[in-house]
Amino acid sequence: MFNTDNRQRERADKPLDFLRGFLKEPRQVGSVIPSSRFMERKIIEFADLGADSVVVELGPGTGGTTRALLQALGCNARVVAIDLDPAFVQIVSGIQDARLSVEQGSAAEIGKVLERHGLDQADVVVSGIPFSTMPESLGKEILQAVRDRLSPGGRFVAYQFRAEVARLAEPIFGPPSRESLVALNIPPMRIWRWDR
């Protein structure tokens, strides 16, 4: 159990850790600071989580959205977080929750990661990775891998500063079923949802 001082220190360190990650690999981090609680609430709303959902989070950063997902899920749910940055993997691995598995690797390897954890498909994939800064071919590869591993009726939720993910996703998923702007975030973010 955390005491109040540890919780405050954890919250205070998150923006610094995020900034360090951005400065180290700006093309792999979608923002210079973590998502706001307003953004996290909108992600949870768009994800439409079932109590026992299998959720894959691509690009968990310092784990704010990861914690929000875990809080919204039931005791039999699973969250698999995948990040390229070993520093972020280490931070998110520090979240003490038996429902969480954390992997360092590419989002394009979602299938292999799920298999390593005895899972076949995801009910929800949440992505904060910056599609606008990666090669288009990699973006398409990731989106196809996500679609291939979504269960029937599954949902893909992406939040981004730029709309590149929507352009890349349309040929693979079709038009989004939902879209919104979250102004109470720095920077303001757009969020999309596609249903399989």
Euclidean distance between CA atoms 156 and 62, whole angstroms: 21
Whether 59 has a pLDDT exceeding 80, the answer reads yes
Q: Could you tell me the pLDDT band of residue 160, with boundaries at 50, 70 and 90?
A: very high
Q: Tell me, what's the pLDDT at 187? A: 87
Class of domain 4-195: alpha beta
Give per-residue pLDDT as tens, 115-159. Answer: 999 999 999 999 999 999 999 999 999 999 999 999 999 999 999
Q: Domains of the chain: which residue ranges?
A: 4-195
Euclidean distance between CA atoms 144 and 139, whole angstroms: 9
Q: What pTM was computed for the model?
A: 0.84
DSSP β-ladder status, 78-83 and 122-127: unpaired
- Mean pLDDT for the chain overall: 87
Most confident of 16-20, 21-25, 52-56: 52-56
> What is the three-state SS of 135-147?
CHHHHHHHHHHHH
Nearest to 187 by CA among 12, 50, 22: 22
